[in-house]
Structure 1
Amino acid sequence: MPKAQIIRAVPGVPLSVTMVAARLGVSASTLRTWERRYGLGPSERRAGTHRRYRPEDVARLSRMLELVRSGVAAADAAATVLSLADEDLGGALVGTSVPSGPEDLVEAAKLRDQERLERLIAASVSVVGLVHTWCDLIEPAMETILGSDEGEEPGSAPSSFLTVAVLAVIRSVSEHCPTTPTPAAAPVVVLADQDHSLAAHVAGVALQWNGIPTAVISTGPHAGSTGSGRFAAHRARAGDSVAVVMGRGASCERLMRAIAGSGEVDIVLVGADSPHVLDQHVQRVRTLSACVDETVALARAKATQGEEQLLED
């Protein structure tokens, strides 16, 4: 998955089993089992190439997945979707359409339509990837909502609906992340203040999708402890050697200096408004996409250095 994107797909173009598996959130072996047992396989056949799934094939698999998750036996679900004509699959095909822009998320959030929000976000993630969905859709939508002078109705805030929808989608993504680093990678911790908490979780899942063991820690004062104290304790336990820091202002700068003072942690500082800290261990990036790319490279380089050190010892 290059550049922390879950999948890239062009509407109407036949997809491989790997791409369909990533798009639906199931394993490729599950799709092959459904093909072998129930005949729910790809219909595209070309000489000398692998078989490919057409949009109608993906729509049937999507409907199959919905039925199975709702409690229908796999054999019965397969019989149902195989009996549907292509025109009856329109709902499943429409359900994967990508939002036209942040305004679609804003509208759904204001209507408190949680199901639509999750569907729009998941559709975008399946086509352009998690990081691009955050940068191009989710973050601008959240800024629009929070920047409105209309205010939010107490107890029914659109920003909260959008936050819950994002967390639901990235939780689903995280369930299919690799469980072991491939290739080997040093563990990473993402440290973020309250304003950057959601972005931190998006970055964390993107890193996990790249096979990077990741944890997210709040930098605020909680339960009598500080962000730097929690990082030190977590690092002693997990051995983190790469830290991603998201924040702004004096508190973020103090955290940065506390971490950099150890001299053993590589730091990726994220955001155009993050504090300027001059240190050889600090790399400053402006965007979440650059953050993920840089952190993946650092974590893998750290693991390689560790292996080489062990061989020398």
Structure 2
Amino acid sequence: MEPEPPQTRLQPPPVALGTGAVARRLGVSPTTLRSWERRYAIGPDRREAGRHRRWTPEDIARLELMCRLTAQGAPPSEAARVARGVAPEDPPAADPAAPTPGGPRALRLGDVRPECRGLARAAVRLDAPAVEDLLEAVLAELGPVTAWEEVIAPTLHAVGRKWATAGERYVEVEHLLSWYVSAALHRIRPAPEPLPAPPVLLACTPGEQHSLPMEALAAALGERALPVRMFGAALPADALCEAVRRTGPRAVVLWAQSRTTADASLARSVAGIEWGPRGARGHSALLLAGPGWGAAAAAPPARAERLFGLRSGLAVIESVVAPRVPGTARGTAAGRAAPAACGS
């Protein structure tokens, strides 16, 4: 018998992405992609049944080149003409000095999610509609915790590093991005039925204007049905102490971005506040968040705990609040001892 001819192994076809996924990857809105396709004939090479656009790696390479050229100041029509001249089998090589498209304006991001690169590109272009669309998409898809830790915070840090090394340039990028991040976090609706527990009070120390981390924490706590009282940036010391007495919070989280705003004397005052009727006085767990409370800061009170990161901070707060909520699975004797340990 003659040997059978060797069978040819079929290579899997390249993955094609939908318009929404490509828009998030590039940092543009889906409307922008459709506009580029209509105006400059830089659309995908194929469509699926039902006229759905499917973008191949070659299509995306052309779009990346167009984004890079427009970020460098080229008119969209000229950028599209150049991008269409790139052979599909020979996409433009990445510039080793610029990990993301955008040339010298690119943000140094390192190894991050594609959504983070897309958000950075949109912010550098000051493309507010794209920034807004991208933030809405990642918060809906990933939730506030993962979106903050893996997309939003890395982009904010990259913008901060960029303007810190470029004089006063790129401050407008940070302001635009911060504004739309804040607006997107405020649009997250808390769970409709919060747990029947005293609230968690969130505030920035007097003089501290950086409130975005607290806004992310407020959104995440609301999503978990934990009652929150958010007081935002630069709450005066007297107002903070009065808010603690009036609300009787289970925990107080104080944010300080820098050592100059990390007021240890204020922390000691808050830790010493007692609230409630005579004979049934209580006090709040004091949780210190932000890099300002580092080792170089003045010694905080003994009954205080540092929070590191949004996800781990949420776990600490839940250990303080949830075990005391009547009817919850964690309302055990062992669980009720957690707040004392937290405040030690």
TM-score (norm 1): 0.58
Q: Which residue of 2 is the match for residue 87 of structure 1?
A: 51
Contact 1:244 1:295 in 2 (8 A): no
Distance 2:129 2:193 in 1: 32
3-state DSSP of counterpart to 2:252: strand
Contact 2:160 2:174 in 1 (8 A): yes
Distance 1:136 1:169 in 2: 16
Contact 1:124 1:133 in 2 (8 A): yes
Q: 1 or 2 for the larger relative contact order (CA 8 Å, sep ≥6)? A: 1
3-state DSSP of counterpart to 1:190: strand
3-state DSSP of counterpart to 2:230: strand
Q: Deviations over 1:257-307 (max 9, x none)?
A: 1111226110222245524556553222211111122112312234449x9
Q: Which residue of 2 is the match for residue 186 of structure 1?
A: 198
Give matches, 1:98-109, under 5 Å: 100-109=114-123
Q: Which residue of 1 is the match for residue 99 of structure 2?
A: none
Q: Which residue of 2 is the match for residue 213 of structure 1?
A: 227
Distance 2:319 2:271 in 1: 19
* 1:173 aligned residue (181, 184, 188): 188
Q: Deviations over 1:183-229 (max 9, x none)?
A: x33201112243530111110111111112212224636xxxx2x31
Whether 1:268 and 2:281 are equivalent positions in the alignment is no
Distance 1:246 1:114 in 2: 28
Q: Deviations over 1:93-148 (max 9, x none)?
A: xxxxx960533222211111111112222222223221121122211211211222
Contact 1:173 1:205 in 2 (8 A): yes
Give matches, 1:65-214, under 5 Å: 86-88=50-52, 100-148=114-162, 149-152=165-168, 157-174=172-189, 177-182=190-195, 184-193=196-205, 194-214=208-228
Distance 2:168 2:265 in 1: 33
3-state DSSP of counterpart to 1:120: helix
Contact 1:246 1:271 in 2 (8 A): yes
Distance 1:179 1:254 in 2: 37
Whether 1:249 and 2:271 are equivalent positions in the alignment is no
More helix by percentage: 1
Distance 2:53 2:246 in 1: 50
Contact 1:186 1:240 in 2 (8 A): yes
Q: Deviations over 1:150-187 (max 9, x none)?
A: 34559x8111111122122212212xx224323x3320
Distance 2:314 2:53 in 1: 37
Q: Percent identity?
A: 19
Deviation at 1:235, TM superposition (A): 2.5
* 1:295 aligned residue (310, 314, 317): 317
Contact 1:99 1:120 in 2 (8 A): no
Contact 1:130 1:202 in 2 (8 A): yes
Give matches, 1:5-84, under 5 Å: none
Q: Where do 5+ consecutive residues of structure 2 fail to align? A: 1-17, 19-48, 56-111, 275-282, 333-344
Q: Where do 5+ consecutive residues of structure 1 fail to align? A: 1-55, 57-84, 92-97, 309-313
Distance 1:119 1:152 in 2: 27
3-state DSSP of counterpart to 1:249: coil
3-state DSSP of counterpart to 2:131: helix
3-state DSSP of counterpart to 1:181: coil
Distance 2:186 2:290 in 1: 24
Sort the Cα spacing of 1:236 and 1:272 in 2 relative to 1 into closer, same or farther, 3 A.
closer
Contact 1:241 1:302 in 2 (8 A): no
Sort the Cα spacing of 1:218 and 1:173 in 2 relative to 1 into closer, same or farther, 3 A.
closer
Distance 2:272 2:233 in 1: 17
Distance 2:261 2:269 in 1: 11
Task: Report the AA paired with residue 249 of structure 1.
Answer: R
Deviation at 1:89, TM superposition (A): 7.5
Distance 1:251 1:169 in 2: 26
Q: Which residue of 2 is the match for residue 42 of structure 1?
A: none
3-state DSSP of counterpart to 1:129: helix
Contact 1:186 1:302 in 2 (8 A): no
